[in-house]
Amino acid sequence: MRNKLANRLLACSIIFLLFVSFTNFGAFAQSKEEAEQIIQEASDKLKTVLSILEELVDINSEVRAIISQVDNSLQLINEAKQLFRDSQYDLSIQKANQALDQLENIEEEIAELNKSAIKESWLIYSIIGVVAAFATVGFVFLFIKKLHPWYKKKQIEEYSNLEIIYDKEYGEK
Amino acid sequence: MAKKNNKSDGRNPKKRLPKIDQNKIVTLVIVFCTIGAIVAITSIVFFPNQQNGFTELSLLTYNAAEETYVANNYPNQISQSDNVTIFFMVKNFENKITYYQLQIKVTKISQNISLEHPLSLSNSKLLYSNETYEKILSPATKSEKEEEGAQTGQYIWGHVNTTLFMNNTLATILEGDDSLKIVFELWKFNSLIDDFQYSGIFTFLELSYN
């Protein structure tokens, strides 16, 4: 009777241990997958942000500050990759998520910068347009003012040199 | 009706300076202005800031007496029990944002290094994983380009402390040689191919190995 009980207890404990270890293994595998996925997401975001930054023509102090933030995110991603290689998946997820959040904020910052740059460029182009229009009007006015009297003078000179000759032969016919 | 010139009426014509044709001058000015404007707009729109830049890679050692980094007194030997410490510095004069990767490889001393192709992993071994040394740098500004011997700045990566080491796995590439070459290759990220590309910029240390 005691033996039976002991056997049952042993069997139950083995089943319990197997259940616990499988559950843990499942969770472990899940965090590995999750870490891999978030690292990939963060790396893709970094490349997107980098390509947006490469398109910026004016690299002023604001952009330079953004570049150092992007570099900071890169270091976080690389730390996450190292932690992943060391099988520290939870820490790896934490670092990759931190990088991803940072990069999303940076993307928004760049979008804001671009908006203000577009506004500034519109203002500059509008001013240039108005100035150019005035310059054109002035130029045309001066051109006509100078050229028209000269043309009239020339015309009068040309006509004053003309002489009317009556064709007698034609008149007789 | 016919035209008759009054110069032929026998009177001596007055000597006059040659008349400048105003119409021609104005036309010429307009033509030159138009051509100039087209050239200027085309160059701004299609060829913005196409100056060729460059990157500087240097190896340094620390001079404790003067508390400075110097480009001399390089180590000349390495062993499995004795690591070597060296500093590297990268300066971005590329006129654009650049994402760098530095790869440190161990190879035979007789191995040639090319400007076009990186050392293949069949005749060299990586000291660290690819991601260990990576950095995104701002381009140097006009005033930064004129600075001489600058050691810090947003366009500078360094001085990065690097430990060079040897172990049995790395030693297999030497095939029993008692000297080796540690090559520092600089790679740049290329957005078009979505990967790093060898820049052709490298430097190396020759060390005896025991």
pLDDT of residue B8: 47
Q: What is the pLDDT of residues A87-138, one digit of tens each?
A: 999 999 999 999 999 999 999 999 888 887 777 777 888 888 888 888 888 8
ipTM of this complex: 0.75
Q: Assess if CATH 3.40.920.10 describes domain B54-209.
A: no
CB neighbours of residue B177 within 10 Å: 15
What are the extents of the domains in chain B?
A: 20-49, 54-209
pLDDT of residue A94: 96
Cβ contacts (< 8 Å) between A59 and chain B: which residues? Answer: 97, 138-139
pLDDT surpassing 60 at residue A173:
no
* pLDDT band at residue B151 under the 50/70/90 scheme: confident
Contact with chain B for residue A64, Cβ under 8 A: yes
Consecutive H or E run containing B54: strand B54-63
* Residue A30, token pair as written in the block: 């899940």
Q: What percent of chain B has pLDDT over 70?
A: 87
* Residue B199, token pair as written in the block: 């820049």
Stronger pLDDT, A101 or B129, i.e. the higher one: A101
The answer for residues whose C-beta is within 8 angstroms of residue B95's C-beta and 6 or more apart is: B49, B51, B52, B53, B139
pLDDT of residue A57: 77
List the 73-92 stretch of A: residues with Cβ below 8 A of B. Answer: 74-75, 78, 81-82, 85
Q: What is the mean pLDDT of residues B132-153?
A: 91
Cβ contacts (< 8 Å) between A50 and chain B: which residues? Answer: 97, 99, 136, 189, 191
Contact with chain B for residue A67, Cβ under 8 A: yes
pLDDT surpassing 70 at residue B3:
no
pLDDT surpassing 70 at residue B15:
no
Stronger pLDDT, A21 or A67, i.e. the higher one: A67
Q: If DSSP codes are grouped into helix, strand and coil, which group holds residue B58?
A: strand
pLDDT of residue B206: 95
Are B6 and A47 within 8 A, CB to CB? no
* Min Cα–Cα distance to chain A from B96, Å: 7
Span of B44-58, B64-78, B101-115, B182-196 with lowest mean pLDDT: B44-58
pLDDT of residue B1: 43
Residue B42 carries which DSSP code?
Answer: H
Q: What is the mean pLDDT of residues A3-23?
A: 72
Are B6 and A53 within 8 A, CB to CB? no
